[in-house]
Amino acid sequence: MDNKKLGKGLSSIFGEDVAKVLDDIQNGDVQTEKQEQKKIDITQIRPNPYQPRKVFDQEALKELSDSIAQHGVFTPILVKKGIRGYDLIAGERRLRASKMAGLEEIPAIIVDFDDQQMMEIALLENIQREDLNVIEEAKAYENLINRFQYTQEQLAHRVGKSREHITNTLRLLKLPEQVQEYVVNKQLSMGHVRALLSLKDEDRILKTAQKAIDQNLSVRKVEQLVKDINNPKVPEKNPEDIYLKDIKVKLEEFFKTNVSVSNHSISIHVEDKEDMNRILEMLHLVED
């Protein structure tokens, strides 16, 4: 059975299962134009500069490295020729694990893709494999928009997501860097930090995020906490306090001076002896 062939640059695969198509290419089930396969010196391969994934599970890499050391690399990586050596397109875990295993060469399929396709493929592959945390995903969207002037609508179409998803994900980059790190380190989820976006003060965002971590708050608890911060309850006025305030106003109007009123006392302020006599006369406590 003949292998399937794709047009130059994989332009036909966007909107499909990119991860599967890349697997098919690396497994030899699909071929691209100007494609060749050979073993390449690992030192000649540059990691994909557009790789959005920054966090790699070291334990999983060690397991893969042990397997490669024993059995070799079964699935070739995908590369393109660069100015010097080769640029990696897909297979960064295999490349890293091969380096850990001490390999000098790695099987690779060389294809002819441009930078835009490299960026999009790296993003799409990771999204479809669910390898990215939401901050890495947001930064990848931002890079594509800035580099290729995509609108959010165009980007949504390119990566097979809704425009609302793109918008909500990009909003997370407005959060303080420290809060973004909490997501990367899996201390907070997207639900937690999305709730924090409605807080306007950066210091309050940081304190609320830290409280959510320290108290292991659920997303719903954080949402309620943020709601309470944005809409603080006004304490109900005590009827007794209202009554005393009313008395104070009336006494001050009557005596034309400051008066203090509590549940157990009334104090009338006087300036001097003459002012005291004035008050006493009003109370009919001295004769004219």
**What are the catalytic residues?**
92
Rounded to an integer, what distance in angstroms lies between the CA atom of residue 268 and that of residue 252?
A: 8
Rounded to an integer, what distance in angstroms lies between the CA atom of residue 286 and that of residue 282?
A: 9
Are the beta carbons of 52 and 128 closer than 8 angstroms? Answer: no
Relative to beta strand 4-6, strand 259-261 is unpaired
- 3-state SS assignment for residue 97: helix
Relative to beta strand 36-41, strand 45-46 is unpaired
CA dihedral over 95, 98, 103, 108, signed as positive or negative: negative
DSSP 53: -
**Residue 118 one-letter amino acid:** M
**211: nearest Cα among 185, 188, 177, 186:** 188
Are the beta carbons of 109 and 79 closer than 8 angstroms? Answer: yes
Q: Any residues with CB less than 8 A from the CB of 243 and at least 6 apart, and which?
A: none
